[in-house]
Amino acid sequence: MSKASGHLCEGLALRRLAKAIETTDNERNGNTRLNAFIALKRLQRSRPIIVSALKWSWRLGWKKQPQQSKLALWMAMAHPCAYKEKSELKQLRDSLEKTDAWKKAKDQLIHNRWNHRGRIHQPKQIINQLSNRKIDRLFFWHHYDIRGYLPRTWLAALEALHQRNWVVVVSSSTLSTTAKQELLERGIMISKRVNQGICLGAYRDFCLLLSEEPNLINCCNQLVLANDSCLPIGGANKFANCIDEISEQLQTNKRMIAGITDSIERDAYHIQSYLMGINSALMQNASWLKFWRQLTLGNSKDNFINQGEIGFSQAMINAGAKTWARYSLIHMLLDQPETGAELQRFAVQELNGVNLTLFAWQALLKAGCPMIKKQAIYNLKSLPIPLSQLLPWLTEDDTELRNDLEQLLRSRFSMKDMDWLNRYLKLNHSQH
């Protein structure tokens, strides 16, 4: 046997072993198999002498299965075909998952642009849950909070949509146990996902997952993609009524994108991606799937917004899609006099510098917009501070919003890295 043939046989044997290890996973989706194969290959290459010695020991007659789990793993790489019993395979998988090679292989798969299944936890279960529901109207909401906090305003808004026959899916990498329980009690699906690629990455992975099942795309007449960069204001019903207005616009045989606000910021027209709806005519067009497949997650945040948010609208417009915004730039500038004055306060002088959700948030609220950008509340440089101007816009339907504002303040300004604090405390202690 030639050297090339030998390497091929070894590779095939490792693939068969990885496939066998996959059978011990609760959900066989291919990622476990690929993760196992990459990890086994890494380990095999890292210790070629050990693997070679175990191969020779096998050939010389020592075929007793090692009791020590780590040694059994190395023996499996030396002679993959020897492991067939499920108990043995389960032991191998447990040992493999403890290795650095497994962690590196998993990280590699998570960051691969194409591997949406590697980032979504139990993707097959998500597909099955959607297949068992009537998904005429599907609302996908991406969430991230460092403490796992789910805003009560959003919980009420999502429940209101569910009661209006929307199938609601919450995507998150960090949800508290209480939040998970509250969502499930309200009939809202949860899709756990690695937080890679901000909200646009979550949109991408979910849309690609949907595309795997043609029946889901055929059944889904409307899809709304939204994220938690805004907070509902004015109550859950006000928010749900706005979504119904978007839904009405999507009820057309023509390709359509509809949202709450639009913009020409960065010199390109787009529906702002914090909330945008798409109809079936667009989802079934080849340009839809092509766009999500080509969107790269590894770019900088700024480039990713250009390619994802602005690029999406532009790609769909080029494919013949019509656009509609409930509080459009033209409407706000022509019909809402307060808009110009508010923009002037921020010294915005050109149309391509206008972001209504940031620089005309009060004009939007006065016009009836049911959402406010969290960045406008917490991170907008302005005098007076925007948070101090929010009270006049709160109604009796915003009782939960006050608590959300306090909880989100804690989350947004939580210390992700405590090392600097520990160094400061040590330094301070040494000085005294």
Residue ranges per domain, the chain?
3-111, 122-432
The mean pLDDT value for 319-334 works out to 97
Among 184-193, 271-280, 304-313, which stretch is predicted with the lowest mean pLDDT?
304-313
Residue carrying the six token digits 């989802």: 283
Closest by Cα among 126, 300, 149 to 209:
126
pLDDT of amino acid 54:
63
Q: How confident is the model at residue 129 (pLDDT cuts 50, 70, 90)?
A: very high
Q: What's the alpha-carbon Rg for the chain, to the nearest Å?
A: 26
C-alpha span between 135 and 133 (Å, rounded): 6
DSSP state of 120: B
C-alpha span between 93 and 89 (Å, rounded): 6
Q: How confident is the model at residue 299 (pLDDT cuts 50, 70, 90)?
A: low
Q: How far is CA 397 from the centre of its chain?
A: 29
Half-sphere exposure in the Cβ direction for 154 (13 Å, CA): 27
C-alpha span between 55 and 74 (Å, rounded): 10
C-alpha span between 292 and 184 (Å, rounded): 29
The mean pLDDT value for 223-243 works out to 97
Q: How far is CA 87 from the centre of its chain?
A: 35
Interaxial angle between packed helices 100-111 and 86-97, expressed in degrees from 0 to 180 and rounded to the nearest 10: 80
pLDDT of amino acid 4:
46
The mean pLDDT value for 338-355 works out to 92
Q: At the topology level of CATH, where does 122-432 sit?
A: Spore Coat Polysaccharide Biosynthesis Protein SpsA; Chain A (3.90.550)
| 60 vs 76, residue with greater confidence | 76
pTM to 2 decimal places = 0.78
C-alpha span between 13 and 8 (Å, rounded): 9
Q: How far is CA 258 from the centre of its chain?
A: 21
Among 79-93, 257-271, 285-299, which stretch is predicted with the lowest mean pLDDT?
79-93
Residue carrying the six token digits 């305003």: 153
